[in-house]
Amino acid sequence: MLRSFVVGLAAFAIALGAQAQTIKIAILGPMAFVQGENHWAGAEMARDEINKAGGLNVGGKRMPIELIRADTNEIQSVPDATNAIERVITRDKADFLIGGFRSEAVLAMQEVAMDYKKIFLGAGAAHSKLGLNVESNYERYKYWFRPTPPKDVDLVRANFAALGSVAEQLRRQLGKQTPKVAILAEKAIWVEGIVAASQKNLPAMKMEVVGVWQPSAVATDVTAELSAIERAGADIVFTLLSGPVGISVGRQMGERKMKAIAFGINVEAQKDEFWQATAGKGNYVSTLDTFAEVELSPKTIPFVRAFKARYQKSPTYNAGTYDAIMLLKTVIEQAGTTNADRLVPVLEKISFTTLTGVLEFDKRHDLVWGPGKITGIAVQWQDGKKVPFWPPQVKGMQPFKLPEH
């Protein structure tokens, strides 16, 4: 009687102990906002997929994934973000960290993660400084990797590639040999390099730059800029906008029935809510984006469809947390351990098929950009729908539309 009791107790204790063996992944993001919601959604999809298959295989032992939801509130407060990351590391004992959005906050969070030597996978901030840190002080920052998005410099290259494609269409359809481009970039440090590069590259691409306008990132009225752009006779408005000014641009261009086409980076235009936010006026606005129902890799279309079915909206690039977790799964199973120091070299050499292409890391632990690897896509809003149109050779792409002239 006593013996069976002791055996039962031991079995219970072992079961408890076995249950406590999970891999804890903390998802850090501004959970009250779209970015954090997407962080969490992508992560949930990955967790459910992995746990349904039995969990991760760590050197022979099967361990499920446990997600820790950490609201960094980084949009409103940078110290809140560092508090959150410290909390998930020391209190919740997270093994891996994924997420981040606001570059200023991610830089601060990176410091904390590196202090504790935890692997931190970025899923939101594109600033190059995060990768530069890896290069300048490898031993300290080697635990940082950025599976998404491409660093700001590479976004430029995508921009020019897609812009060339748009210009080509303008030449064909409208007969304009040298389309006029107005650069409309928000006043922010991330655009400085791109603006300078544009002013040099666009003439070489047989386009004429008619002016540079820099509204504030939170500007709600771009009448002044648009009036001046109209007067300069621009055919393309090359947008470098990450804040709500992107909505104002889309809406006011539509209200003025401008003939010019807006293309570039317009982060607000990547969201489903853009159409409603522009009150249906944001037609023809195009931007670089990450996800669409096109075959960037065999995983893309099933994921986007499953995401839409589960959450009733399209994923933004922050849902790349899915890729981050799948990447972790691959390297952990390959290395047979969760030890950060042993995983770093595996991550550095990996070639992994993600939702948007093939992921490899360069020496700054940023993703390698290029055809055959990851390029991102470009989408255009056509009558309330986001239609992907670039790169044209990928299956599922549709044609780019110009406004009536």
Partner 1 sequence: MLQDILVTGLVNGGVYALLAIGFSLIFGVARIVNIAHTAFYMLAAYCFYALLVKTGLGFLLSGVIAVGAVTLLSVLCYRLVIEPVREHEAAVLIATIALALIFQELMLFSFGGHYLGIPSTLEGGVRFLGVSIPYQRMLILVVAAAMLTGVWFLLYRTRLGLAIRATANDLEVANLMGMNVNRVAMIAVAISVALAAVAGVVVAPVFVVDPFMWLAPLVTMLAIVVLGGLGSLKGSLIGALIIGYVEAITVFAVPAGAYLKGAVALGIMVVVLLARPEGLFGVAFEEER
Partner 2 sequence: MYLLRRGWAELRNEVFVLPSRTLVLAWVIALLALPVVYGDPYVMRILTMTCIFAIFAASWDLLAGYTGQVNFGHALFFGAGTYTSALMSLKLGLSPWATIWAGAAVAFFFGFVVGYLCLRLRGSYLSLATLAFPLIALGILFAFPDFSGGELGISGLRRLAVTPTANYYVAAISMLVAVFALWLLADSKVGIVLHAIRDDEVAARASGINTPRYKLMVFAIAAAAAGFAGALFAHYLRVAGPSTLEVALSFQVVIWGIFGGVATVYGPVAAVFILYPLTEWLGSFRAFGELRLLIFAVVVLLVLLFMPRGLTPWVRDKIETQCPRCKQRNGVWRKICRLCGAALQPEVPGAQRLVGHQ
**Is residue 115 classed exposed, middle or buried when 0-12, 13-18 and 19+ CB atoms within 10 A define those classes?**
exposed
Count of CB atoms within 10 A of residue 245's CB? 25
Please give the distance of CA 384 from its chain centroid, rounded to a whole number. 22
Distance from C-alpha of 286 to C-alpha of 46, rounded to nearest angstrom: 29
- Is 387 one of the binding residues for partner 2 (CB under 8 A)? no
Give the separation between CA 182 and CA 186, rounded to whole angstroms. 13
Interaction partner, residue 368 (partner 2, partner 1, none; CB < 5-8 Å by kind): none
By the rule CB under 8 A, 227 interacts with partner 1: yes
Binding residues for partner 2 restricted to 117-146, rule: CB under 8 A: 127, 129, 133
Three-state DSSP string of 15-36:
HHHHHCCCEEEEEEECCCCHHH
d(CA 205, CA 157): 13
CB-CB neighbours of 389 under 10 Å: 23
Choosing from 21, 90, 199, 223, the residue that interacts with partner 1 (CB under 8 A) is: 223
Q: φ, ψ for residue 62 (rounded to 5)?
A: -95, 125
Helix, strand or coil for residue 295?
coil
Which listed range, 84-92, 241-249, 301-309, 349-357, lies at the site for partner 1 (CB under 8 A)? 241-249
Count of chain residues binding partner 1 (CB under 8 A): 37
Nearest to partner 1 of 151, 271 (CB atom): 271
Residues in the chain, overall count: 405
Q: Which x/- pattern, by CB under 8 A, does the window 243-282 give for partner 1?
A: -x--xx--x---xx-----------x--x-x--xxxxx--
Asked whether position 224 contacts partner 1 by CB under 8 A, the answer is: yes
Contact partner at residue 256 from partner 2, partner 1, none, CB < 5 to 8 Å by partner kind: partner 1
Answer yes or no whether residue 77 interacts with partner 2 by CB under 8 A: yes
DSSP string, 271-285: STTHHHHTTT--TT-
Q: Is 218 in the site for partner 1 (CB under 8 A)?
A: yes
User: Of 73 and 297, which has the nearer Cβ to partner 2?
Assistant: 73
List 58, 188, 232, 301, residue binding partner 2 (CB under 8 A)? 188
E strand or H helix that includes residue 189 = helix 189-204
- State in angstroms the smallest separation of the CB of 76 from partner 2: 7
Per-residue binding letters, 211-230, with partner 2 (x by CB under 8 A): ------x-------------
CA distances to 4, 64, 329 from 18, rounded to whole Å, are 20, 11, 20
Binding status of residue 214 toward partner 1 by CB under 8 A = yes
Cβ nearer to partner 1, comparing 192 with 295: 192
Distances (CA, A) of 357 to 304, 381, 396, 402: 14, 23, 15, 29
Q: Does 382 bind partner 2 (CB under 8 A)?
A: no
> Residue 250 to residues 214, 241, 340, 352: CA-CA distances in angstroms?
15, 11, 45, 36
- 370 binds partner 1 per the rule CB under 8 A: no
Partner that binds at residue 31, options partner 1, partner 2, none, CB closer than 5 to 8 Å by kind: partner 2
Could you tell which of partner 2, partner 1, none binds residue 218, using a CB distance below 5 to 8 A set by kind?
Answer: partner 1
Q: Does 225 bind partner 1 (CB under 8 A)?
A: yes
Nearest distance, CB of residue 252 and partner 1, angstroms:
8
Beta bridge partners of 288: 378
Q: What angle do CA 130, 136, 141 make, to 5 degrees?
A: 55
Query: Binding to partner 2 by residue 195, rule CB under 8 A?
Result: no
- Distances, alpha carbon 8 to alpha carbons 3, 13, 255, in Å: 8, 9, 74
Closest separation in Å from C-beta 133 to partner 2: 7
| Binding residue for partner 2, selected from 66, 111, 168, 293, defined by CB under 8 A | 111
Q: Sign (positive/negative) of CA torsion 388, 397, 360, 58? A: positive
Instruction: Pick the piece of the chain touching partner 2 (CB under 8 A) from 67-75, 266-274, 295-303, 391-399.
Output: 67-75
Q: Toward partner 2, which CB reaches closer, 39 or 251?
A: 39
Sites of contact with partner 2 (CB under 8 A): 31-32, 69, 71, 73, 76-80, 82-84, 86-87, 90-91, 103-104, 107-108, 111, 127, 129, 133, 187-190, 192, 217
Sites of contact with partner 1 (CB under 8 A): 30, 32-34, 75, 186-187, 211-221, 223-225, 227-228, 244, 247-248, 251, 255-256, 268, 271, 273, 276-280
